[in-house]
Amino acid sequence: MRKTCIMLLAACLLLAGCKGASPAEQEPFGEEIPVSAETPEPDAQPVILAENGKAYFSLIRAENADNQSVDIAVEFRRTFEEKTGISLAFGTDWEKPGTAPDMETKEILLGVTNRTDPETVSSLGYRDWKIEEEGNKVVILAKSPAALRAAAEAFFTDQVLTMEENSVTLNHLPLSGTAALAAGEVPDFPFGTLKGTYESSGSTVVVRVEKTNAEEFAAYRTMLEDAGFTLYDDNTIDGNLYATYVNDETTVNISHVPGMELTRVVYEKRGDLCPLTDPYEEKYETLLTGMKGETVVAAEGMGFIIRLADGSFCIIDGGMGDPDHVDSNKLMNILRSQMPEGQEKPVIAAWLFSHLHGDHIGVFNCFSLDFHDQIVLERLVFNFPKEEEVEKSDSPYMLDDTNYRYTQFKKNLEEFYPDVPVLKVHTGNRFQVRNASFEVLYTLDDLYPKSILNGGMNECSILYKMTLGGQTTLWTGDFAFNATDLVLEEFGDALKCDILQMAHHGINGTVPFYSRVDPTYVLWPVWAGGFESMRNSEQNKWLIDSPNVKHIIVTGVGTWTIRLPYAPLEGTFDRTPTWRTKYPAYPNLLGE
């Protein structure tokens, strides 16, 4: 490997995810980056990549590279061809089992591969990158997609990649630098085995480290404090450890799961923090309403309204909504009928979203257009994926609807609620909404090294566990199968709840998951006919046949309201719906 004193002054680069663009729309590689004027050592000869229109090197990425790194590799190959007119052969580091990695062929290794020196990898921080020649390889090395993109930017600068006469050469090796992240500066986790890093929603960076222990987790907490971070909250769920640290610029959420020997470091630009207390005066009984969607677009949408002890509200999702705004009017009528007498406007203490599919955020959009000036909205709660992953996560039909509604969602936030706090939640976070306590048991950050591209948008459904009046409710949204497997491993018996909202309208969910939740009451947000058509699915049949389930409430039958905590009078309800079932509207309470 040739050594030189030349060092590249790396330009400050934001996370690719912060730009909100697909690889085709991102800034092209190859912006001007200055190189020091020192003279190379005599043996620091350029690396000849191609001559006379023929490439001597192929491009290799890891077989198991994450989706962002794959996109960078595709963009790298396209940029090389655009700049040189030469197409690079493109492959992965896969080798037939039992054979050694290919170290003889001339290759450009992009990211960490099985040809990369482990000591060189371990010497890098999350944001560091380097480009060097090592035998027959040109190694473009980084541990995170953000740093890998920074290295690719450096590779394609005119000072480094040059074309003279009939040759394409790479100059000034080795080069190194550090990517500047919008999430800020956070100490590297120096223990265990780094599985990788991932740029999640917005400016969020997720670092996954395996083969770690509680002592190392505690040592890292000390490192954060030594670096100027202050503890905001810590939490323990089923023996798993969670903590949130902040400084003026950055929020760091760290977790350790002993049973998985797993540590996560999730950090992002500092925003609104989860309220650990929320003072209120208890004046009213707490109610839960399941709103039957009336829209002709999709009656299976999900919307739940909780009237809290001071007369304010907490809303879970909302439903589809449609151009006629029937459901937004219906929601406003519910809020007005249940709000304290004489109060001018309904107070929505928190509006929680599971994920951004249209049948969950659509009513919010219509409601905001119709009633934003007739309510008081105190906070919004969600964690949505970055837009370039949304663009590839579902079928074209689903994406057309999602993109339309998500665009309207962001516009509503900017136009109508610019000063309303937005809680971007992560696993282990807890927050208080009047007399309701919430813990977050899953967000899309936990899915890494997979992403929503591996299982669809439903994989980003947040799992909220609510405690109210001594009774627990598990809000699953459209919880999907990869997420289900993860929370079973991470939380086990801590999933036990009194009330379960069935996953994805009864489409998802599994018997192992539901058996751990082991609910007494079940909320099924499904259209009326969906109950009959899906009641014999394995997981749904398990709930219907469970001797511990006393009542299954299907929202598609009609809008209903119950008191929380829920303790219905025996004989006043059908255990499961029948064609005769008709849920009473407030103030007639279901089960009384």
Confidence band, pLDDT 50/70/90 cuts, at residue 10: very low
Tokens of 522: 């079940």
Give the pLDDT confidence score for residue 437 in this predicted structure: 98
How many Å apart are CA 87 and CA 89, to the nearest integer? 7
For the cut 50, the answer to whether the pLDDT of residue 24 exceeds it is no
Q: Are 465 and 342 in contact (CB under 8 A)?
A: no
Confidence band, pLDDT 50/70/90 cuts, at residue 123: confident
* Residue-averaged pLDDT of the chain: 89
Confidence band, pLDDT 50/70/90 cuts, at residue 22: very low
**Strands annotated E in 217-338:** 230-237, 240-246, 250-257, 262-269, 286-290, 303-307, 313-317
Give the pLDDT confidence score for residue 450 in this predicted structure: 87
**What is the average per-residue pLDDT within 496-503?**
98
Q: Are 232 and 486 in contact (CB under 8 A)?
A: no
More confident residue, 23 or 525: 525
Give the pLDDT confidence score for residue 388 in this predicted structure: 80
Give the pLDDT confidence score for residue 581 in this predicted structure: 82
Where does residue 230 rank: exposed (0-12), middle (13-18), buried (19+ CB within 10 A)?
exposed
Q: How many CB atoms lie within 10 A of CB 419?
A: 5
Q: Is the pTM of this model over 0.75?
A: yes
**Strands annotated E in 211-271:** 230-237, 240-246, 250-257, 262-269
Q: In 3-state terms, what secondary structure has residue 108?
A: strand
Lowest mean pLDDT among 118-127, 511-520, 551-560: 118-127
Give the pLDDT confidence score for residue 21 in this predicted structure: 36
Digit-coded pLDDT (tens) for 521-546: 999 999 878 888 899 999 999 999 99
How many Å apart are CA 157 and CA 347, to the nearest integer? 55
Q: How many CB atoms lie within 10 A of CB 41?
A: 12
Is the backbone of residue 218 left (phi > 0), alpha (psi -120 to 50) or beta?
Answer: alpha
How many Å apart are CA 127 and CA 249, to the nearest integer? 17
β-partners of residue 501 are: 523
CA nearest to 68, candidates 173, 152, 2, 124: 152
β-partners of residue 423 are: 272, 381
Element (H, E) at 485: helix 481-491
More confident residue, 126 or 297: 126
Give the pLDDT confidence score for residue 514 in this predicted structure: 98
Q: Are 87 and 137 in contact (CB under 8 A)?
A: no
Spell out a b/e string for 174-201, using b for 16 or more CB atoms within 10 Å of the CB, else e: bbbbbbbbbbbebebbebbebbbbbbbb
Q: Return the half-sphere exposure (C-beta side, CA atoms, 13 A cut-off) of residue 544.
A: 16
For the cut 90, the answer to whether the pLDDT of residue 571 exceeds it is no
Confidence band, pLDDT 50/70/90 cuts, at residue 23: very low
How many Å apart are CA 181 and CA 193, to the nearest integer? 22
For the cut 60, the answer to whether the pLDDT of residue 416 exceeds it is yes
Q: Are 526 and 505 in contact (CB under 8 A)?
A: yes
**What is the average per-residue pLDDT within 126-149?**
92
For the cut 60, the answer to whether the pLDDT of residue 333 exceeds it is yes
The type of residue at 588 is N
Q: In 3-state terms, what secondary structure has residue 322?
A: coil
Give the pLDDT confidence score for residue 321 in this predicted structure: 80
How large a percentage of the chain has pLDDT more than 70?
92
Digit-coded pLDDT (tens) for 249-295: 999 999 999 999 999 999 999 999 999 999 999 999 999 999 998 87
Q: Are 366 and 332 in contact (CB under 8 A)?
A: no
Tokens of 482: 């990869």
For the cut 50, the answer to whether the pLDDT of residue 109 exceeds it is yes
Q: In 3-state terms, what secondary structure has residue 163?
A: strand
Digit-coded pLDDT (tens) for 202-260: 889 999 999 999 999 999 999 999 999 999 999 999 999 999 999 999 999 999 999 99
More confident residue, 144 or 369: 369
How large a percentage of the chain has pLDDT more than 90?
70
Confidence band, pLDDT 50/70/90 cuts, at residue 296: low
For the cut 60, the answer to whether the pLDDT of residue 560 exceeds it is yes
Give the pLDDT confidence score for residue 297 in this predicted structure: 53
Peptide bond into 449 cis (omega under 30): yes
The torsion angles phi and psi of 413, rounded to 5 degrees, stand at -60, -45
Q: How many CB atoms lie within 10 A of CB 308?
A: 23
Digit-coded pLDDT (tens) for 370-392: 999 999 999 999 999 988 888 87
β-partners of residue 254 are: 243, 265
Task: End-to-end CA distance of the chain: give it in Å, rounded.
Answer: 80
**What is the average per-residue pLDDT within 537-563?**
95
**What is residue 492's DSSP assignment?**
G
Q: In 3-state terms, what secondary structure has residue 356?
A: coil
How many Å apart are CA 399 and CA 557, to the nearest integer? 29
How many Å apart are CA 6 and CA 9, to the nearest integer? 10
The type of residue at 333 is N
How many Å apart are CA 537 and CA 130, to the nearest integer? 52
Digit-coded pLDDT (tens) for 427-472: 999 999 999 999 999 999 999 988 888 889 999 999 999 999 999 9
Confidence band, pLDDT 50/70/90 cuts, at residue 6: very low
Digit-coded pLDDT (tens) for 182-197: 888 899 999 999 888 8
Q: How many CB atoms lie within 10 A of CB 135?
A: 12
β-partners of residue 472 are: 467
Give the pLDDT confidence score for residue 299 in this predicted structure: 54
Give the pLDDT confidence score for residue 290 in this predicted structure: 96
Count of helices and strands (H, E) across the chain: 12, 31
Give the pLDDT confidence score for residue 120 in this predicted structure: 85
